[in-house]
Amino acid sequence: MSKTPLSLHLSDLSDFTRALARELKTDRHSHLTLMNMIARAAGYQNVQHLRASTAATRRLKKDEDTPSKDARLVERTLTQFDAEGRLRQWPAKRGVQTLALWALWSVMPAQRSVSEKEVNACLNNEHLFQDPATLRRTMISNEMLARENDGSAYNRLSNAPPQDALVVIQTIAKRRKLRASNSGAPKATALGT
C-alpha cells in the first residue's frame, strides 16, 4: 500500500512537544529533547537550525515567488550582494560561493562562445572585488562555464540551477533592474535572456 504524504503544520513546536511528552507518559525525554528529535527528523541539525531557517523563510517570503529549500543559505548569499545586485566580496563558505556564482552565471551570454576578455568584462560588471579570474575558474570547476583547452573561448553550460539558486537569481535580477533604471545603462537580465 502506498503512503499518502500528510503534512503537519505546527504553530508552536514547544507546546506540541510538551503535549507529546505527556502523551508518551515518560520522564526519559524532556520537551526540549523531543523538540530536537523532531527537528532532526525534519532534516534540520537541531531546533536552533529549524528556528533560523523558519525565520529566514519568513523574511524571504516577502521578496520571492519561488520557495527555497534552505532559506538561511539563500539569505546568507543575498547579503553578499549590494543593493544593485553586485557581489561585494568572495564568500568564505562554499555553499554561499556556489549560490553567488549562479547569480553571476545567469548574466553570462548563453548559447554562444565568448572570449576571456568578454567573460572578464561581464564578471567585472557584476562584482566589486576585482578578481574575475577566481570567479571564472570557480565557475569552470563548478561546471557552469566550459573553456577551450587553449583558452580561446568560453561557453556558458546549460545546467538547470537548483531551486535555491533560482531564488537568488530572481532576487538579484530585481536588484540589477534597479541599478539599470538608476544609471540608464542597459540592464543585465537573468538567465542570459
Mean pLDDT, rounded, for 109-117: 94
pLDDT bucket at 193, cuts 50 / 70 / 90: very low
CA atoms within 13 A on the CB side of 45: 6
pLDDT bucket at 97, cuts 50 / 70 / 90: very high
pLDDT exceeding 90 applies to what percent of the chain? 52
Number of structural domains, the chain?
A: 1
Q: Domain for residue 53, yes or no?
A: no
Q: Domain for residue 37, yes or no?
A: no
Q: Domain for residue 1, yes or no?
A: no
Residue 6: per-residue pLDDT = 47
Mean pLDDT, rounded, for 6-20: 71
Identify the residue with better confidence: 3 or 175: 175
Q: Domain for residue 132, yes or no?
A: yes
Q: Domain for residue 47, yes or no?
A: no
Per-residue pLDDT tens over the stretch 132-161: 999 999 999 999 999 999 989 999 999 899
What residue numbers bound the domain in which 80 lies? 65-192
Q: What whole-number distance in Å separates Cα of residue 63 and Cα of residue 68?
A: 12
Average pLDDT, the chain: 85
Per-residue pLDDT tens over the stretch 53-89: 877 777 766 655 556 678 889 999 999 999 999 999 9
This model's pTM is above 0.75: no
Q: Domain for residue 124, yes or no?
A: yes
